Amino acid sequence: MKILVLNCGSSSLKFALIELPNYKVLTSGNEERVGINDSFITFRNPEGKKIERHLDIPNHTRGVEIILDILKEEHFVESFDEIDAIGHRLVHGAERFAQSVRITPEVVDMLHECAQLAPLHNPANILGIEAVTKVLPNTPQVGVFDTAFHQTMPEHAYMYGLPYEFYDKYRIRRYGFHGTSHDYVSAKGAEIAGLDRASCKIVTAHIGSGASMAAVLNGKSIDTSMGLTPSEGLMMGTRAGDIDSGVIEYLMNKKDYDPEFLAPFLKKATPGKTHLDLEDLTFLLTKKSGVAGISTKGSDMRDVAKAAEEGSKRDLLALSMHAYRIKKYVGAYAAALGGIDLLVFTAGVGENRAALRTEVCQGLEFLGIKLDESINEVTYGGKSQVISAADSRVKVVVVATDEEYMIARDTYDILNK
């Protein structure tokens, strides 16, 4: 069975064509900087050679079309009829979806209803579904939800300190995201480190343009940094992360902004506007903040790191703030778990930026965390490995996350029940 997996992130689109039940990746790749200048796609051709093409990818709809064109052009399939199913990573389904589901028009309607909970992701996920439906209207599609792995969180971890009635009526609570990744890398990381996930304490750090962390106790998620939406928690590529709610009140109550100052931070061009409304504020906190808000070079960490190396104080500050937030969560989750046996780094930045891992781990020796910098600084190249020192009580591992496998597995299982 050939399954095309689509993993639409806020500014990326990962894909893989996978054969199951005998797991075989026919090709995989990634579109990066989707909706940003200098977008490009990388993928493996039939000979296994990595191909990179720079082309305009203005949105996720066009991104899906490009992927399908490449599958035929490179003869991974001679006809789209050879694609038996599409598996989608879906971010938020509130409490409506606690497990993977076959996608129907009714499911898509419910995803639209939940879009305000994940304004950067659910719309991208829906575009992926709609783009596939146009080209492959008869091919079954399955949605695999980010929130599923975190359904094991105890009530005291997922509830907010709001009046209980708001949960009872509107289900306002922490849901958590990147669940397929946290599930996969906690298991794979434990395997690489020679530990039994079912009997150890693990902190996982999924650090990409979007970023989250999880506390995993004996194989079950007991806490995670993202909340009702994917905006809470760590400082991310364009998202502010944890912020005092009083800041929001202050920004909305201010009515005398200089229109020229305000213009770059508005979702819609509105000449002469001197205040922020709720739509503007959501845009500000999810699209104009985080690393992009502090740095001079936007949200791509490669650009920010280069500018910092060249002496930009703002870019250096962006890197320091980004790493500091991760370090704080490592400490918090070590406390929640009652100790830590394993720390796992994954996703684009977590896997590829050695300096980030160094900055996060420095000062955590009191927890038993110590890196072997001779290993940590080696070009990563996609190889999962232990990077902690031989005398480190806590194992530290870099794991190449494989959300695509997890999505393909669930898609296969749903369609073969």
Confirm or deny that 208 is annotated as ligand binding: yes
Closest by CA to 63, choosing from 136, 131, 120, 121, is 131
Tokens of 105: 């028009």
Cα dihedral 374, 211, 243, 97 sign: negative
Catalytic residues: 146
In the 3-class helix/strand/coil scheme, how is 173-235 assigned residue by residue?
CCCCCCHHHHHHHHHHHHHHHCCCHHHCEEEEEEECCCEEEEEEECCEEEEECCCCCCCCCCC
Identity of the amino acid at 49: K
Confirm or deny that 348 is annotated as ligand binding: yes
Confirm or deny that 14 is annotated as ligand binding: yes
Cβ atoms of 10 and 210 within 8 Å: the answer is: yes
What are the φ and ψ backbone dihedral angles of 328, each rounded to 5 degrees?
-60, -40
Distance CA 47, CA 49 (A): 6
Q: Which residues of 37-47 are buried (b: 16+ CB within 10 A; e: fewer)?
A: eebebebbeee
Find tokens 């591992």 and name the residue: 397
Confirm or deny that 381 is annotated as ligand binding: no
Confirm or deny that 376 is annotated as ligand binding: no
Confirm or deny that 352 is annotated as ligand binding: yes
Confirm or deny that 403 is annotated as ligand binding: yes
Confirm or deny that 207 is annotated as ligand binding: yes
Query: For the chain, what is the largest distance between any 2 Cα atoms, rounded to a whole number of angstroms?
Result: 63
Distance CA 2, CA 91 (A): 23
Confirm or deny that 92 is annotated as ligand binding: no
Confirm or deny that 287 is annotated as ligand binding: no
Confirm or deny that 246 is annotated as ligand binding: no
Confirm or deny that 45 is annotated as ligand binding: no
Identity of the amino acid at 325: R
Confirm or deny that 155 is annotated as ligand binding: no
Identity of the amino acid at 238: T
Tokens of 274: 């001197």
Sheet of 220-224, strand order: 220-224, 211-217, 201-207, 342-346, 395-398, 385-386
Confirm or deny that 209 is annotated as ligand binding: yes
Confirm or deny that 301 is annotated as ligand binding: yes
Q: Residue ranges for the binding site for substrate?
A: 89
Q: Residue ranges for the binding site for ATP?
A: 14, 206-210, 300-302, 348-352
Q: Residue ranges for the binding site for Mg(2+)?
A: 7, 403
Q: Residue ranges for the binding site?
A: 7, 14, 89, 206-210, 300-302, 348-352, 403
